[in-house]
Structure 1
Amino acid sequence: MNQPPSAPPPQNSQHYDVVVIGAGNAAMCAALAAHEGGARVLVLERAPEAEAGGNSRFTAGAIRFAYDGVEDLRALMPDLTDTEVEMTDFGTYTEEEFYADLGRITDYRCDPELADTLVTRSKDTLLWMASHGVRFAPIWGRQAFKVDGRFTFWGGLTVESVGGGEGLVESLRAALHRNQIPLWHEAAGRSLLTDDRGATRGVRVRREGRVVDVACDAVVLAAGGFQANAEWRTRYLGPGWDLAKVRGTRFNTGDGIAMALDIGAMPYGNWSGAHAVAWDYNAPEFGDLAVGDGFQKHSYPFAIVLNQNGKRFLDEGADFRNYTYARYGREILAQPGHSAWQVFDANTDHLLRDEYRIRQVTKVTADSIEELCARMDDVHTEGALATIAEFNAAVDRTVAFDPNVLDGRRTSGLSPDKTNWAMPIETPPFAGYRVTCGLTFTFGGLRIDETGRVMDTDLRPIEGLYAAGELVGGLFYGNYPGGSGLSAGAVFGRLAGSSAAAHAAS
């Protein structure tokens, strides 16, 4: 794999136009955009080379954007064949639909200007990424089911980067290398350097056991949220969040946010909120690059989910999983033992995503419901049996099951009811998968303006300071539409990099 050149630690006299802190999707998009703007750019990555790439590297690479039809998709994916187009209903996902989803999923709390920027620049940004060598493909295996010989995409999410998060990061790194943009590994930003007017003039960096000051005209902060910081999680998300698993990198501890707050930046957004999902109960403390996102368990719309008391506690079929999975981790964390079991029978087993087939899975199987409930650790057997019997009796079997649409096949009289895809748990063999809360990224961060500038507590821009990615607050509240994290990182990374380069040039 091509790696960007690594420069020696500078003396204080060395100077860059733009310094980017972070080396994930948002950061590398910022670096490429700043380079296009004529800036001399340096990228700082706290992680060693083997673990570099931020949270982006741990994702499946799904990326949400607005498109008006298959021709927009073919412009992004020129390898798409006529046969593939004929066997697939890609539909459309217009700017109006994307904007409406952002509003609906966040209870209309998202910053309207940030949302508009994300939506209106999403397609152009993906095409720009493709021009830098990032390749995209349809997510047939995750976002479409084959019914009557034809795939139908659902939930507004159609495209992923080839190779998933690993492929995305590798492609962006290769682009840095081609453009001779230096990337320092194990170079942690410690503080921002400012002049007597409060303008950003550099970064204090710890690298290879030494502390050096890197002078610059502009800084782009793109170092992720604070999800890997147990103390901050407990402080801002609340009690119990120190017990959550972290899906991604161990290096996203809020450093970029702290550096900005230290010089008067404005905190913004949903500081008590986070993207948190159903995650394998025995997954490690932080993400495992060998497994990637395989610990996630996202086929719950076709299951029932039981807590230790044997009770259901959420509507598994409230919406397509794209619109519920990021908030259900919080629901699981709040249960006894901070865990739950997803229960399937043979009628829906074929719909399970590949992540259910990995070797590192916490799973029990049985040929009878009684045996299954007895095998699920820490679950009250009689309570689980009663819940399953009650659920089966409440299913409206007159409505056809269709995994590609909100089919309205529901239960009646339960609390909570399941409102779509309600299938009785009655056909052996049966399977249970134990899950806990997997924390992806935090929603609280810094306030930026329409050009990516970081605002201070008086809502004035801090000269020379820009931000992108997870540490931007105000876009997601309580939940988020699947795939919009990577698109937001790319859109605002490109915006921040271009603005930082223009500032340096001025």
Structure 2
Amino acid sequence: MTEQYDIAVIGGGNAALCAAMTAAEAGARVLILETAPKPYRGGNSRHTRNFRCMHSGPLGPLVEDYGEEDYFADLMKVTDGKTDEHLARLAIRQSEQCLPWMQEHGVRFQPSLSGTLSLGRTNAFFMGGGKSLVNAYYRTADTLGVEVKYEAAVTHLELNGDRIEWVDFTHQGKTQRITPTAVIVASGGFQADTDWLTRAWGDPAKNFLIRGTPYNRGVVLADLLDQGVQSIGDPTQCHAVAIDGRAPKFDGGIVTRLDCVPFSIVVNKNAERFYDEGEDVWPKRYAIWGRLVAAQPDQVGYVIIDSKSLNLFMPSVFPPLKADTLEDLAQMMDLPGDKLAETVANFNAACGDTSGFHPTELDGVSTSGIKPPKTNWARPITEPPFYGYSLRTGVTFTYLGLKVDENAQCGTDKGPIRNLWAAGETMAGSILGQGYLAGFGMTIGTVFGRIAGREAADYAN
């Protein structure tokens, strides 16, 4: 290619777009290289629904207030303290100014969804979901003069000393090379490379489903790590949730997630419970269930509810299995009928007073005398018809990534790389050591995308 660009942004999702728009507004000539075809642009961002946002009072669709300490405490709880506090607090503090910036760049918000996502205070929901956000950003980027190449798969970034010399990519059947002044990597994790997942996790990973885009294969990540760019995170740590076992192998998206766990019991293929289904409100606990299911035989679990719980959560994309008796439901799910009936009977006997049941907050309605306990929303499963779902581990994105500083800049053991920045899922492991908090991935991508765009433009100018 003969065109000269100030900044090449690798990736086409939320973080890439925030970086590209910010850099373009600072006067830089920006090229986005998106591996996916245009209809599938946006990476995992097109499957998102909301953005977790600190605010000191009502803000946009958000009610009440959600301060830095509350936000950070929520993050510490789900990560068990495995986070870079400085970068985490940076993301949290800057999230408040991001919401009006998002609106200025075309994003529209709506009131919080109901069901188990009781997030009106903490998370701002996108009107039309992530696909609308992605489309709005592409429209805005176009008006700012950002160029986009689709089906442009980056294969190599040439690192020479402390700078990236060139970027190689394939496009329309040809290999092309550009020499931008600065590079921003926002191309996600490696979760769609199931061979890499299997090397990290072992054979159980062969049974995992990939919730997000099939185009996040970690090609750029691997290329940079092989050249000595500093990494962060554990390859076995990821955002993994329990999803409907009938979901496709790739790209099922957020609609395949099941939100019924708090009102259920969950058993493995031996019809045995294995964890507290009511440990905390769902947005703080849904992301642990992928790993829990991954640890069960054949990496599968089964949700069992009765008719009184059917309307307490957002509807599933696939209807549940339905039977008038637990034995019939067990047969439909290929579970041992006698054992399932025994497990349910023991659970029911352990349930106490349910008069305080409250589906949208911790209610303390718990079991006694059984292990594992159920510490909230514990009601007997007694009212037919009975319903069941199969669960599989659904991986959203991996946490092994590029280590960055507070300016989103990458480096090697010898020091910073002068013209390389990273944003979004490809550097989220800098903040997320384990676990996940609903909407926080979009926070990381927005905050560090804007930082990367600003810093890269400053360098290019």
Compute the TM-score of the two structures, normalised by the length of structure 2.
0.96
**Partner AA of 2:232 in structure 1:** Y
Structure 2 SS opposite 1:455? strand
Distance 1:94 1:268 in 2: 28
Structure 2 SS opposite 1:324? helix
Distance 1:464 1:110 in 2: 26
Structure 2 SS opposite 1:73? coil
**Partner AA of 1:324 in structure 2:** R
Structure 2 SS opposite 1:439? strand
Shift of 1:142: 4.4
Distance 1:159 1:271 in 2: 30
The verdict on how the C-alpha distance between 1:41 and 1:142 changes in structure 2, with shifts beyond 3 A counting, is farther
Shift of 1:268: 0.6
Structure 2 SS opposite 1:140? coil
What's the counterpart of residue 158 of structure 1?
A: 123
Shift of 1:198: 3.2
The number of residue pairs the alignment matches comes to 460
1:352 aligns with 2:313: yes
What's the counterpart of residue 259 of structure 1?
A: 223
Compute the TM-score of the two structures, normalised by the length of structure 1.
0.88
1:227 to 173, 191, 215: 191
1:452 aligns with 2:408: yes
The verdict on how the C-alpha distance between 1:389 and 1:250 changes in structure 2, with shifts beyond 3 A counting, is same
What's the counterpart of residue 325 of structure 2?
A: 368
1:73 to 52, 60, 66: 60
2:299 to 338, 343, 349: 338
What's the counterpart of residue 280 of structure 2?
A: 319
What's the counterpart of residue 172 of structure 1?
A: 137
Shift of 1:165: 1.3
Distance 2:329 2:194 in 1: 35
The verdict on how the C-alpha distance between 1:312 and 1:156 changes in structure 2, with shifts beyond 3 A counting, is farther
What's the counterpart of residue 171 of structure 2?
A: 207
1:48 aligns with 2:33: no
Alignment of 1:52-451 (within 5 A): 52-59=41-48, 61-70=49-58, 72-73=59-60, 90-142=63-115, 153-154=118-119, 157-195=122-160, 197-288=161-252, 292-354=253-315, 356=316, 358=317, 360-361=318-319, 363-377=320-334, 379-397=335-353, 399-451=355-407
Assess if the C-alpha contact under 8 Å between 2:116 and 2:359 holds in 1: no
Deviation by residue 1:311-368 (Cα, 9 ceiling, x = unmatched) = 11111111111111112111112212221111111221111212x2x3x44x321122
Distance 1:199 1:369 in 2: 63
What's the counterpart of residue 462 of structure 1?
A: 417
Identify which range, 115-124 or 255-264, moves more after superposition: 255-264
**Partner AA of 1:297 in structure 2:** L
Structure 1 SS opposite 2:170? strand
Distance 2:226 2:297 in 1: 38
**Partner AA of 2:97 in structure 1:** D
Distance 2:249 2:354 in 1: 44
User: What 5-or-longer segments of structure 2 have no aligned partner?
Assistant: none
Shift of 1:154: 4.7
Shift of 1:398: 5.0
Assess if the C-alpha contact under 8 Å between 2:50 and 2:125 holds in 1: yes
Distance 1:494 1:202 in 2: 23
Assess if the C-alpha contact under 8 Å between 1:202 and 1:219 holds in 2: no
Q: Identity over aligned residues, as a percent?
A: 39
Deviation by residue 1:80-112 (Cα, 9 ceiling, x = unmatched) = xxxxxxxxxx33211111111112211111011
Distance 1:332 1:30 in 2: 36
Identify which range, 363-372 or 446-455, moves more after superposition: 363-372
What's the counterpart of residue 34 of structure 1?
A: 23
Shift of 1:307: 0.9
Identify which range, 235-244 or 390-399, moves more after superposition: 235-244
1:25 to 14, 31, 36: 14
The verdict on how the C-alpha distance between 1:436 and 1:398 changes in structure 2, with shifts beyond 3 A counting, is closer
**Partner AA of 1:421 in structure 2:** W
Structure 1 SS opposite 2:221? helix
Assess if the C-alpha contact under 8 Å between 1:318 and 1:418 holds in 2: yes
Structure 1 SS opposite 2:311? helix
**Partner AA of 2:449 in structure 1:** G
Shift of 1:373: 2.4
Assess if the C-alpha contact under 8 Å between 1:226 and 1:253 holds in 2: yes
Identify which range, 171-180 or 213-222, moves more after superposition: 171-180
Structure 1 SS opposite 2:430? coil
Assess if the C-alpha contact under 8 Å between 1:67 and 1:73 holds in 2: no
Distance 1:142 1:177 in 2: 37
Shift of 1:156: 5.5
Assess if the C-alpha contact under 8 Å between 1:278 and 1:298 holds in 2: no
1:474 aligns with 2:435: no
Distance 1:231 1:164 in 2: 31
